[in-house]
Amino acid sequence: MALNVQKPALDPSYLEKLQDYYAEHKVIPSYSVLASLWGISAKSWVSECVKRFEEAGYLDWTPDRQLKPGARFFERRLADSAVQAGLPNPAIADGYDLITIDDYLVKVPSKTSLVRVKGDSMIDAGIHEGDLLVVEQQPNANVGDVVVAIVNNEFTVKYLEREKGGFVLKPANKAYPVLRPKGGFEIFGVMAGLVRRTR
């Protein structure tokens, strides 16, 4: 009898099928559904497989003992620019990181909005027309922040800068003027990130 039993790895397709199911339904199914998903007809074996995935970090439990995705469940390969040999097959590298892009960008879901960028007034800040700006809603900001302000009942994305004791909105494009709205302006939120889709 060995003391430290190393459980063998499982059919990797099991994990992929689970991830596909999760991608579709956003939920971990019950053991009986897992059984049919994996082509198994014994819940006892499902239980065993779940234990192995749990040990591998792909599954986990809530405090109420409900099965949930583990830390590695959402991992996407994060490839670094400086990768060594063996790179053509990146599956070897274990440079895993990151969970969901959502989690990466959104800290407080209830205060986070997405704003579609119009125009190229912030092009020098790498903010292009059509980009989705991740905005944390808050009524104030620091000088130098990229803010989403409300001017003439429209959203506008600019740098917040100080000028003669007041605040102005400065574009990142020499072709545009600095905005000094009479009557001031309201800050909708601060840029927390951006998302661009190119396909």
In the complex, least distance from residue 118 CB atom to a copy of itself, rounded to whole angstroms: 4
141 binds a copy of itself (CB under 8 A): no
From the list 45-53, 86-94, 164-172, 174-182, the region that binds a copy of itself by CB under 8 A is 86-94
The tokens for 119 are 């125009």
Residue 22 interacting with DNA (CB under 7 A):
no
Token couple for 13: 């397709």
> Can residue 55 be called a binding residue for DNA (CB under 7 A)?
no
Q: Which of 158, 164, 170, 174 is catalytic?
A: 158
CA distance 40 to 11: 12
What CA–CA distance (Å, rounded) separates 155 from 185? 11
Q: Is 97 in the site for DNA (CB under 7 A)?
A: no
Q: Say whether 44 is catalytic.
A: no
| Partner touching 50 among DNA, a copy of itself, none, CB below 5 to 8 Å by kind | DNA
Q: Does 81 bind a copy of itself (CB under 8 A)?
A: yes
Per DSSP bridges, beta strands 154-163 and 146-151 are: antiparallel
Residue among 49 and 148 whose Cβ is closer to a copy of itself: 148
> Tokens at residue 145, please?
């922040």
For 13-33, the DSSP string reads HHHHHHHHHHHHHSSPPPHHH
Give yes or no: 51 in active site: no
Give CA–CA dist 100/41, Å, rounded. Answer: 32
Catalytic residue numbers read: 121, 158
